[in-house]
Amino acid sequence: MTDAPGPVEPLGLPVLDRLAFERLTVAHRRELKLHCYRMMGSLHEADDLVQDTFLRAWRARSQFDGRGSVRGWLFTIATNSCLNAIKARSTAHRILQQPERPPSNGRAVGGPAELTWLEPYPDAELPDLVDGEPGPEARYETREAVQLAFVAAIQLLPPRQRAALLLCDVLGWSAVETAQLLGGSAASINSALQRARATLGERYPQGRPVQRSRSSPEEGLLLERYMRAWQTANLDGFIELLREDATYHMPPWREWYQGRKAIRDFIETVWGNFAGYRTVATRANGQPAVGVYALDHRDRVWRPHSLHVIEPADGKIVSLTIYVPPLGPELFAAFGLPPV
């Protein structure tokens, strides 16, 4: 907001300068960023769109009459900014898995895929869950709606349906409020919601994603064992942590693997590519995550290699999403992980 002028009368309140305006809006920054991330599937695009939202809010401050909430006004601007950004890019959604591609076996040979991949979201950037409680119309709990699998699923929705579902079922807005933002009638919003819910129902036969609990000692132990298996190259120990039907995705590579045997066969082909691994625990999308550093055989420097997002259930790992080079190392800074 470098172009802001001197004292003004924004938000229907007494005269406020630019710093006062920023104090008023910054309280909503994390919640807006998470909303933009859900819409876009991109951490970096979310950052840009939040900045764009605040700039647009500053420029349009005289249009705010003070009758609604600042939060609702900012979400209106942010949602429209996201919809415009989606229109301007080549694809309306990001993916964790290439559509219709069957699971692979053995060595990965396809090379990095020129596709638009869903990015993970640092827990350090999540809004406080008390302050971010959804409204009375919400169908999903906050912890469900940050999971990587949930964000991947809503990326399958057309942009307008995605926005309607996020506003109504995640934030708890009414159909009337959502219609005022997106245009059209409350009936058209309810129709869009029905179609969006039907699409999600194909991914979640029980009607919703598996409910994630808060961090527990059992989950902490699973994470420790996972990190130790990588650091000691203990393949048996690593495979033992997986559920029998576990999946293993590795954006931006096309290949993905399902089942203990297929994952083991693949890991056997890659662990020897480096002289060793070190791990740092973090969290992403409300799930345990690990930053993995690899030691090159040539220069003996520990460099960022991959970011692992883990989905545990009942003491086992049901899904691994491993962001490998070049995408993985590019995410380290956003998660506060050191460059070496």
Rounded distance between C-alpha atoms, residue 35 and residue 29, angstroms = 10
What integer is the mean pLDDT of 141-153? 88
pLDDT band with cut points at 50, 70 and 90 for residue 131? very low
pLDDT tens for each residue of 74-121: 999 999 999 999 999 888 789 888 877 899 988 887 666 678 999 999
Q: 143: which residues sit within 8 A by CB, 6+ positions away?
A: 129, 211, 212, 214, 286
Describe the chain by its helix, strand, coil percentages, rounded to 5.
Answer: 45, 15, 35
- CA 201 to chain CA centroid, Å, is 20
Residue 118 DSSP code: P
Please give the share of the chain, as a percent, with pLDDT higher than 90.
Answer: 64
Handedness of CA 161, 166, 170, 171 (dihedral sign): negative
pLDDT band with cut points at 50, 70 and 90 for residue 312? very high
pLDDT band with cut points at 50, 70 and 90 for residue 9? very low
Angle at 73 between CA 67 and CA 76, to 5 degrees: 140
Please list the alpha-helical segments (H only) found in 89-242.
Answer: 148-154, 159-165, 175-182, 186-203, 217-231, 235-240
Long-range contacts formed by 42-51: CB under 8 A, 24+ apart = 42/94, 42/118, 42/119, 43/119, 43/120, 43/121, 43/122, 43/331, 43/334, 44/119, 44/334, 45/85, 49/78, 49/81, 49/82, 49/85, 50/78
pLDDT tens for each residue of 204-260: 766 556 655 556 788 999 999 999 999 999 999 999 999 999 999 999 998 999 999
Q: Is it the case that residue 3 has pLDDT exceeding 80?
A: no
- CA 79 to chain CA centroid, Å, is 16
pLDDT tens for each residue of 267-282: 999 998 999 999 999 9
**Are the CB atoms for 78 and 32 separated by under 8 Å?**
yes
What integer is the mean pLDDT of 5-9? 36
List the end-to-end C-alpha distance of the chain, in Å, as a whole number: 33
For 45-114, the DSSP string reads HHHHHHHHHHHHHHHTGGG--SSS-HHHHHHHHHHHHHHHHHHHSS-S--BSS-TTPPPP-SS--S-B--
Q: Is it the case that residue 297 has pLDDT exceeding 70?
A: yes
Rounded distance between C-alpha atoms, residue 149 and residue 321, angstroms = 10
Instruction: Go through the domains of the chain in sequence order and give each one's CATH number.
Output: 18-91+111-129+136-203 (no CATH), 217-335 (3.10.450.50)
The more confidently predicted of residues 200 and 65 is 200
**pLDDT value at position 295?**
95
